[in-house]
Amino acid sequence: MKSFFFFLLTSLALAACVDTATSVTPADPDWLRLEIPSGGEARQVAGDLDGTLFVATTFEIYKTSNRGKSWELIRRRHYGPQGIILRHDTLWNVTNGGGTPQQKFVYDRYADYTVDGGKTWQKDMNPTELRLQINAASATDGTVYTIRENSTPKAEDPLSAYVNPADILRQTAEGTTLLALPFRHGINALHLDSRNRLYVAVYGTHVPETNRILSSLTESPAVVYVSRRRQP
């Protein structure tokens, strides 16, 4: 009986820490590809690849402290999507989202938070609203990166549309340009770390024949792209 319980505990520990590849391809000069074990959609990113990086999916929050070689599941909920706001050493799990295509936010009051990397969670009793824009990120030099969503109206139903691959706009004092990307997905959120590396939380599978994005399965890996060098 003791052997059985030891095997069970060992299996659970291994399930919470899964090795994953961290690069798009060995030859890609500009981007790393991080695969989180499950979740389907990467909803949001916080932190730093060289320290601790947190990724929120629809129902889960993961973290890695070894540049994505393994991931630890630190929270799973029965509703979503999950949002995260990191300030200093405190990570809040926020569950409300909204806004417009131009400005999308995650926000919450009385959100759960952790100060030990997800080992324990507490309820924030401060009524002040936590809010973070997730479809744009600003670099230290004033450059702003923004998600541009693309879609094609359905002929049979003009009020709905097919999702096409999203773009990232780079806005400087000289004007706005498209950021060159080696991937084609829908994009949920952007994040810049202290070194101005850009993190892109994506979803969906691109179908080249129709240029449409198909929804991600919840059990499939969630994907985040990270610029190898600082932006811009």
The DSSP line for 195-212 is T--EEEEEE-EEETTTTE
Tokens representing 195 are 């070194």
Query: Quick one: average pLDDT of 85-102?
Result: 91
Write down the pTM of the prediction: 0.86
- How many whole angstroms separate alpha carbon 184 and alpha carbon 214? 11
The domain segmentation of the chain, as residue ranges, is: 31-227
pLDDT value, residue 1: 44
If you average pLDDT over every residue of the chain, what do you get? 87
Measured over the CA atoms of residue 16, residue 41, residue 63 and residue 182, the dihedral's sign is positive
Measured over the CA atoms of residue 77, residue 78, residue 84 and residue 87, the dihedral's sign is negative
**Among candidates 182, 216, 174, 178, which has minimal Cα distance to 40?**
216
Tokens representing 229 are 């060098």
Measured over the CA atoms of residue 53, residue 55, residue 61 and residue 66, the dihedral's sign is negative
Alpha helices in the chain (DSSP H): 2-15
- Contact (Cβ atoms closer than 8 angstroms) between residue 164 and residue 212: yes
Q: What is the pLDDT of residues 105-128, one digit of tens each?
A: 999 999 999 999 999 999 999 888
> What is the phi/psi pair of residue 217, to 5°?
-75, 140
Q: What is the pLDDT of residues 46-59, one digit of tens each?
A: 999 999 999 999 99
User: 91: which strand partners?
Assistant: 86, 114
- How many whole angstroms separate alpha carbon 149 and alpha carbon 101? 8
Q: What is the pLDDT of residues 123-169, one digit of tens each?
A: 999 888 999 999 999 999 999 999 999 999 998 888 899 999 999 99
* Count of CB atoms situated within 10 Å of the CB of 107: 18
- How many whole angstroms separate alpha carbon 154 and alpha carbon 157? 5
pLDDT value, residue 193: 95
3-state secondary structure 143-187: CEEEEEEEEEEECCEEEEEEEEEEEEEEEECCEEEECCCCCCCEE
- How many whole angstroms separate alpha carbon 69 and alpha carbon 81? 25
Task: Report cis status (omega within 30 of 0) of the bond before 232.
Answer: yes
**Among candidates 164, 168, 148, which has minimal Cα distance to 101?**
148
Query: Quick one: average pLDDT of 192-213?
Result: 95
